[in-house]
Structure 1
């Protein structure tokens, strides 16, 4: 049984570990942060975590990963209700507004319209009074990050994965870091090491990796919106309103807790919320809410929060490299740089990682 060491316990690392375990590999996951940890260094818990593609048709591989993720989750939602509840995934209507006046399914930006369920264009008369020029709607997948990460971790443990908590020397060479990781194993017998360090890869091995700072708010809306849906407007910066709750949406709108945002601040490492940014988010969200919740809806801020997405010039890196570790070649599979699409890339990206592991081991 081949042994694979996965470094990193974000959504990419844990999904990859599960796929490897399902295919008969022995897996060890080594990480500094785990589900339940709220460190700014741990990106996955801070995500909006919805299927909302921003990929363009010429990003062929990324589009394919996102197709796979959408189909995988929808299949579970439609056929495995108990499993979907454990995972914290839900079918949710989404409304997407755009500053682009084109409203044609043939437009490249709408490459996904034949993939998603219930796709429809929004008539101009139904758009909010300020800002958006076009819009569309469809049925998407909303993920509760805490539940989903915990599910992946629990499932990996149940399949026999070993978990090791350790801090690795990120500022050292990739060779020294891999050596340090292997030293935590009882025997240095991992045939493949998978680097799922996310933003940490910027210090470890790749200057093309950079932070994309996202500031968001957890809020309560009163009176609650009449329907539970996701609303996104591709304004600059982006504006979104996501239901953030555990109870099924069929239970009604009584739980009016929402995750709103946001920002895409490239190269900014600041972990602290900025009050003026929070105020701007609230003002933009109120504009989008007009005609949906009513003019008198009140937004109570429960929490301000910041996450740092792992961006990368050139897009995600999922590829093999032979790394010299103490005179021995170690097969390292890099898998990072998914920016704000970690969840929706995770299924397809993990499947590619599995194929590359199989290739590496011949």
Structure 2
């Protein structure tokens, strides 16, 4: 059966687009084509390596602020309705800055974050100028994307095809395809027909650590570093310790010196890590799909064989914010083709 909607890429960004469309009754119209699917591991498949949480790590531009708000509200509802099966959880969060953050960003966060509070100076770690607390969302990244994969495939009838495309035009191989969503992340730089030179990887290294006595999210934003402690829901007490934000670095190697730096910074930020039986299980690295100027969410057209034009929606470049901003980006990406999507027959929700 042919599918009028094709999504290229099965990271959290592509899965979010499919989720929003499927929830509206269009699941059986969707085909996801990707080199890697949930359950796979590769340095070129970013989503399984994520922390992941909602935090102030995103930019302060209007797009980022809007996507964050939509993503937070959706994920909070998901945590309330299906948190156990989706492996996401509401979690107390404390975030600190070495330098004062932009007031516009903080004002925006204060409007919608649950339990938002500016912390008194006396409660800040040494060297920090500002801090907030609120209720965040923490995500077991590999299990969450596998949850979405099963939900989309089994409940909503989305078709998955594991294949590496030679070019974006190949996504229009079936004449019935009306819309292609390009959710290729780091692949957008080299995929023929896209080749976005603004894209670059931002390498991170994390430590998967068992520390069941830690039940809060803690982050410190420095001028040239990020330090974070993120509990991983439904993981037998595991947490993620990080990290690094290395622009333009594309290696998947891990380094002992960086692991030592992570341990020094995280235990200094949260000394209670050392009060329990903390055990470092493994070190991993991942490549965040970053883009100069921020993520790209844009409807375009592409010339196809025979003189026809296809509708192509770009949705990539979220950097380290895919899990928190992805549903906001997906909402906007789908909105650009509402005129085409609305003409498709719909099924009733199966949830």
Secondary structure, counterpart of 1:148 in structure 2: helix
Query: Does 2:298 correspond to 1:319?
Result: yes
Residues 337-352 of structure 1 correspond to what in structure 2 (within 5 A)? 337-352=317-332
Structure 2: distance between partners of 1:22 and 1:220: 35
Unaligned runs of 5+ in 1: 170-176, 248-254
Give the match for residue 214 of structure 1: 204
1:172 corresponds in structure 2 to none
What TM-score do the two structures reach when normalised by structure 2? 0.88
Aligned to 1:242: 230
Contact 1:56/1:108, CA 8 A, preserved across alignment: no
Aligned to 2:34: 31
SS of residue matched to 2:39: coil
Give the deviation of 1:23 after TM superposition. Answer: 2.8
Alignment check: 8 A CA contact 2:92 2:217 kept: yes
Equivalence map 1:107-126=2 (5 Å):
107-111=103-107, 112-126=109-123
Contact 1:53 1:66 in 2 (8 A): no
Question: Cα offset for 1:257?
Answer: 2.3
Distance in 2 between residues matched to 1:215 and 1:3, nearest whole Å: 39
1:40 aligns with 2:28: no
Conserved 8 A contact 2:139-2:233: no
| CA distance in structure 2 between the partners assigned to 1:148 and 1:301 by the alignment | 22
Structure-2 separation of matches of 1:114 and 1:334:
29
* Alignment map for 1:81-92 (pairs within 5 Å): 83-92=82-91
Contact 1:9–1:34 at 8 Å: present in 2 too?
Answer: yes
Q: Contact (CA 8 Å) 1:322, 1:331: kept in 2 or not? A: yes
Does 2:268 match 1:268? no
SS at match of 1:113: helix
TM-score by length of 1: 0.85
Q: Is the 8 A contact 1:7 1:13 kept in 2?
A: yes
* Deviations 1:225-274, CA, capped at 9 Å, x for gaps: 4x510010112311001112406xxxxxxx54220000000000111002
Q: Tell whether the 8 Å contact from 2:299 to 2:314 is kept in structure 1 after alignment.
A: yes
In 1, Cα distance between the equivalents of 2:79 and 2:48? 22
Q: Find the aligned partners of 1:48 and 1:267 in 2 and give their Cα distance.
A: 20
Q: What secondary structure is seen at the aligned counterpart in 2 of 1:153?
A: helix
Mapped contact 1:89–1:144 kept (Cα < 8 A): yes
Pairing of 1:43-192 with structure 2 (within 5 A): 43-57=46-60, 59-78=61-80, 80=81, 83-100=82-99, 107-111=103-107, 112-128=109-125, 130-157=126-153, 158-169=155-166, 177-183=167-173, 187-192=174-179
**What displacement does 1:161 show?**
1.2
Between the aligned partners of 2:46 and 2:301, the Cα distance in structure 1 is: 27
Give the Cα–Cα distance (whole angstroms) in 2 for the partners of residues 210 and 330 of structure 1.
Answer: 26
Residues 1:228 and 2:197 are matched in the alignment: no
Runs of 4+ in 1 over 6 A off after TM superposition: none
Deviation at 1:304, TM superposition (A): 0.6
Is 1:300 the counterpart of 2:279 in the alignment?
A: yes
**Matched residues in 2 for 1:332 and 1:101: separation?**
40
Q: Is the CA contact 1:318–1:335 (under 8 Å) kept in the aligned structure 2?
A: yes
Q: Where in structure 2 are there 5+ consecutive unaligned residues?
A: 344-351
8 Å contact from structure 1 (residues 278, 304) kept in 2: yes
**Among candidates 248, 258, 269, match of residue 288 of structure 1:** 269
Map Cα deviations across residues 3-23 of structure 1 (whole Å, 9 max, x no partner).
101100011101111222233
Tell me which residue corresponds to 1:309: 288
